[in-house]
Structures are given as structure tokens and as C-alpha cells.
Amino acid sequence: MGLIEFLKDVGKDLFGGGGKEAEQITKMLQTDLPGKITGLNVAFSKGVVTLTGKCDSQATKEKAILLAGNLKGVESVNGDGLEAPVEKKEETEFYTIKRGDTLSLIAKRYYGNAMKYPVIFEANREVIKNPDLIYPGQVIRIPKLDK
């Protein structure tokens, strides 16, 4: 999965300048993904978050990377240290929201049906708290549809 890049100046402002970014990211991940990552370790340096630990699924790994990356002050996340069980599904795509986007428009673009927006919302529930409140620069998962 490698290093995933994010827009540094957009996203949730979690840090507040206290110098305890790694602790704050750890707490957020443990709250938003309770019990889904064991042995979680978070490092933060110069806008780069490095995550290690064992995830219960590939989806949890992707969500942890997106949660850490969609924070103001984070420009990239290295999730190579997050282990996850190998799944047979195709790899998830990531999408950076642009001005004027809605989940319906994104669903239309990827699935050919705007009414499939709940699939995207459910796949990003930890990152998107309200389907009507997305913002430019936010990175989300676009899961493959089961055929």
C-alpha cells in the first residue's frame, strides 16, 4: 500500500499544537476502530504518520490510514507496518474529494448509479460522519461492488 499522500491543510483539526500528535492519533484510532487493531503504534514526524499493528481486516487497515491522513497537519501516512489478513477481493480504490462533489455524484461516476451512494458512505463511516458533510481534499475509500 505504501505511502498515501493527503492535503496537509485540510481535515479535522485534532492536534491543537500540543506536540502530542502520535498520542492523539492513537486515541482517535482506538475510539473510532475499537478493538480492531492490536499492538497499535503510531509515530508522527514532519507531517508523516507511521502506523504499525495487527488489523482484523484489510478494511480496518484502509480505514486507519484514512482516519490518520484526513487530519489537518498530516501530509502522508505510511501504513506498511499495519498487518491485515489477505483477502481475495480486488484492491479498494481511493478518491480525493473535489469541490462540488457529493457522494451521489461519486457513486454515479464509479458505479453508474447515484443511488449507490450508501455503499460509499458505509465504507467510510469512520471517516464521514454525515453523508452530506464531505469536503474537498478529504480522501475516501471506493469499495468494489459485489456482482
pLDDT of res. 12:
79
Does 46 map to a domain?
Answer: yes
At which of 32, 55, 83 does a domain end? 83
**51 forms bridges with which residues in the sheet?**
42
CATH of the domain at 11: 3.30.70
CATH of the domain at 114: 3.10.350.10
Q: Which three cell numbers stand for residue 129?
A: 460522519
| φ/ψ (deg, to 5) at 44 | -135, 125
Between CA 66 and CA 76 the distance in angstroms is 10
pLDDT of res. 9:
81
The answer on 14 and 76 residing in a single domain is yes
Does 88 map to a domain?
Answer: no
pLDDT of res. 17:
66
pLDDT of res. 147:
59
pLDDT of res. 102:
97
**Count of domains forming the chain:** 2
Find the domain containing 114 and state its range.
93-142
For the chain of 147 residues, list the mean pLDDT of each consecutive stretch of 10: 79 76 95 96 95 95 94 94 82 90 97 96 93 93 84
